[in-house]
Amino acid sequence: MGRVSVRNVSRTFTKKENNSETEALKNVGFDVEDGEFVCLLGPSGCGKTTLLRIIAGLETLSSGEITMNRIPITGPDPKRGMVFQQYSLFPWRTVMDNITFGLEMQGIKKIEARIQVEKYIELVGLEQFKNSYPYELSGGMQQRAAIARGLANEPEVLLMDEPFGALDAQTRNILQDELLKIWEQKHVTFLFVTHSVDEAVFLSDRVVAMTSRPGRVKEIVDIDLPRPRCRTGPEANSLRDYILKLLEEERLER
């Protein structure tokens, strides 16, 4: 099970120096079904990352409720993995040791953890680099290691915050394809933040389009396209144009 429900979530930040308030999120609500791939898409500063961090249990909300499998989220949990935009790998640990880190923190012995993560290293295609250090890897390889680390705890939900945003277009397309293969194999629920409409249409079952700050749900768009998908097919182009118009409306209303 990996069902997430977001109900009337708001988040306000207060500056200590002058007590001024910034409303980042306002009455956000949607569901992510078990095994679904959902993308969060919206203008810069609309609260996408804040919302993802609240779902991860890394930040608190001001009002509303978020549940996973009907249990309120009150803090981090291995059932919810997180992959950040920055690779966040420990430079002093090898690929293998970076991926086993979360398991070791749960008290699993290092030898057992290494055995457990071998399949994830193979899944992301890093078998030949498992003893390499992050500085010896390309950006794409580092992000593969970060994805494997997120999967190693065998979460029910994997939260991804623009994981391919810093990569070149070719590497980004390759990793999108590989991510979909992982999703199909592992049956994990994905909630994926992106600024790219192309990426959202290619990856997701549904796109949650958000408004400008304070972030609210503007519209939820079903991406009813067969898989594997053609990036440039007429149906994909039509959906892409529709979502771009939603985002353009937000820009004009600011």
pLDDT tens digits along 23-58: 999 999 999 999 999 999 999 889 999 999 999 999
Q: Give the start-to-end residue ranges of the domains of the chain.
A: 4-79+157-253, 89-154
In this structure, of 13-17, 74-78, 119-123, the range with the lowest mean pLDDT score is: 13-17
In the predicted structure, residue 1 carries a pLDDT above the cut 90: no
Mean pLDDT of the 100-127 span: 90
What pLDDT, on the 0 to 100 scale, is given for residue 8?
A: 97
How does residue 76 score in pLDDT terms, banded at 50, 70 and 90? very high
Contacts of 13 (CB under 8 A, 6+ apart): 21, 22, 24
Question: Which residue did the predictor score with more confidence, 126 or 85?
Answer: 126
In the predicted structure, residue 174 carries a pLDDT above the cut 80: yes
**Count of beta carbons in the 10 Å neighbourhood of residue 254:** 8
**Domain boundaries 4-79+157-253, corresponding CATH code:** 3.40.50.300
What distance in Å separates the CA atoms of residue 207 and residue 200, rounded to the nearest whole number?
7
Q: Is 70 helix (H, G, I), strand (E, B) or coil?
A: coil
How does residue 88 score in pLDDT terms, banded at 50, 70 and 90? confident
What distance in Å separates the CA atoms of residue 247 and residue 209, rounded to the nearest whole number?
8
What pLDDT, on the 0 to 100 scale, is given for residue 254?
A: 65
In the predicted structure, residue 18 carries a pLDDT above the cut 90: no
Contact status, residue 59 vs residue 76, Cβ threshold 8 Å: no
Q: Is 232 exposed, middle or buried (0-12, 13-18, 19+ CB in 10 A)?
A: exposed
What distance in Å separates the CA atoms of residue 25 and residue 173, rounded to the nearest whole number?
31
In the predicted structure, residue 176 carries a pLDDT above the cut 90: yes
